[in-house]
């Protein structure tokens, strides 16, 4: 059963404020103290799409869909860029337990590591211009 659904075209990360106002009550209710990490993961996906997919273009929208379903959050972030080769990031269960070296945090890829560690599922389409984030609620109904 669908509890809430949001769909928005984003032209600049500043629009995250508007999105947060809408989804914040759901995040707090379903994820408690982890709501900040879930919010940061969604935000990181949007910022990556804007910076890397659209090269900070203010004319091309990033499409965001967020669904709060019974038991889980599903978020899709799609940009209109060329995509990227996400296969270079070892998106395996081993990564959940991997802690990067401090020097590695200076390079790109921190956001993907954050999303992978926080979310239950992080997947990209083949092209690399759409990501799917899923997280089970802390408490099940």
Separation CA 131–CA 111 (nearest Å): 12
Q: What is the pLDDT of residue 98?
A: 52
Alpha helices, DSSP H only, in the chain?
A: 16-31, 35-48, 110-118
DSSP-assigned letters across all residues of 6-41? EEEEESSGGGHHHHHHHHHHHHHHHHGGGHHHHHHH
CATH number of the domain that residue 74 is part of: 3.30.565.10
In a domain, residue 58? The reply is: yes
Tokens 């945090």, residue located: 105
Whether 141 is in a domain gets the answer: no
How many domains is the chain built from? Answer: 1
82-133 pLDDT, tens digit each: 998 888 765 555 555 555 555 555 556 678 888 988 999 999 999 999 999 9
Q: pLDDT: is 123 or 138 the higher one? A: 123
């Amino acid at each position: 059963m669908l509890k809430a659904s949001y769909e928005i075209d984003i032209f600049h990360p500043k629009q995250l404020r508007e999105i947060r106002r809408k989804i914040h009550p759901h995040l707090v209710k379903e994820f408690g103290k982890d709501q900040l990490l879930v919010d940061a993961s969604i935000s990181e996906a949007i910022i990556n799409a804007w910076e890397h997919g659209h090269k900070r273009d203010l004319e091309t929208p990033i499409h965001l869909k967020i669904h709060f379903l019974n038991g889980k959050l599903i978020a899709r972030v799609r940009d209109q860029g060329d995509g990227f080769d996400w296969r270079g990031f070892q998106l395996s269960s081993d990564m959940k337990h991997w802690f990067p070296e401090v020097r590695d945090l200076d390079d790109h890829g921190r956001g993907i590591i954050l999303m992978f560690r926080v979310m239950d599922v992080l997947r990209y389409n083949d092209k690399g211009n759409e990501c799917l984030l899923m997280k089970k609620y802390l408490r099940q109904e």
